[in-house]
Amino acid sequence: MTAAGGTPSDLLVRFSVFAAATERLDRFLADQLQLSRTQAARIVAEKGVRVAGSVVRASRTLKRGEEVEVRIPASEPPRHLVPAHIPLTIVHEDEHLLVIDKPAGLVVHPAPGHWDDTLVNALVARGTQLSEGGGEGRPGLVHRLDRDTSGLMVVAKNDIAHRKLAHAIAARRVKRVYAALSWGHLDESPMIIEQPVARHPQDRKRMCVADHGRPSRTDVWVAARFEVCELLRLELQSGRTHQIRVHLEHLGHPVVGDPVYAGGGSRRITGPFRALADRIERATPRQALHAAQLSFRHPVSGEPLTFRAEWPEDLGNALVVAAGSERVAPASALSYLQFFNEDG
């Protein structure tokens, strides 16, 4: 590996790949050049990496013998968080924190492809004070939700609240309950899914159950049983990436509408109920997963807090078709089905 001067403010690094194959480019550069994942992704997104003279994407993998050129800003200023006027549903707000009912489709923090249209950008636009504890580009973020998962999130406004909330999550003192439609019927309820989760060895965008993965636990109850699927109440006891979706797919009951961990989707259902399964799938615009309840003690006052978010409107038709009843309208569906009953 050699380095040569580029512009006065840049460092130009050239090297040849010796490994037979690599993981995706941004992660490989972060490991090889001692960069943060955010820095590596930013350099790629800003066309700072060339392979054989051509600009490449972050998802590119490398092969032995390929020549790589990386232009690294020698003194890279923090990326400015551009305000984005995106409507937000604020469930609770005080001087230390706020709780948001995040809509599906909203990315939580800036990343390649979504530098200025995220939840963080929306919070900046409304002038919300945010803690610095989340790291670069992630102010205030104590935990995250996938882009296409809706529901409750807590955001810290100052570092004291952030530190205490993060510690409470690590100590499993924050109760995070999700509602999901899953294919088929569980053999028992309640049940515990305790399987380690790791990055998929072939597809780095996916996670999987693997012996070498990080310990992960999801507690599951059946809230309502329908003909071809169930409404599940799921409580996270750990917070791995895609944990619920991976655990349910591994169990053989994937989340309805999940484009990544589908496990066959409606094709899993055969016989006279196949047509119903197809209708449910067509009525489900995204993964039917929703963060429905969040409970914790206020990080400053110690007051016990519980917040609930009913089944989202965009998944309302899927639930109506699955239940065969319009009485489960989104505005009160979870309450109607006694989802929030602490006895499961």
The DSSP bridge pattern shows strands 67-73 and 54-55 to be unpaired
Picking from 318, 325, 322, 249, the residue whose alpha carbon sits closest to that of residue 285 is: 318
| 146 is a catalytic site residue | yes
Name the active-site residue from 146, 187, 203, 219.
146
Closest CA to 252 of 265, 236, 234: 265
Single out the residue of 18, 23, 25, 52 nearest to residue 41, CA to CA. 25
To the nearest 10 degrees (0 to 180), the angle between helices 37-45 and 25-33 is: 120
Q: Distances in Å between the alpha carbon of 15 and those of 28, 33, 66, 69?
A: 13, 11, 8, 7
In this structure, what are the phi and psi dihedrals at residue 43, rounded to the nearest 5 degrees?
-60, -40
- In angstroms, the CA 227 to CA 119 distance is 37
Which residues participate in catalysis according to the annotation? 146
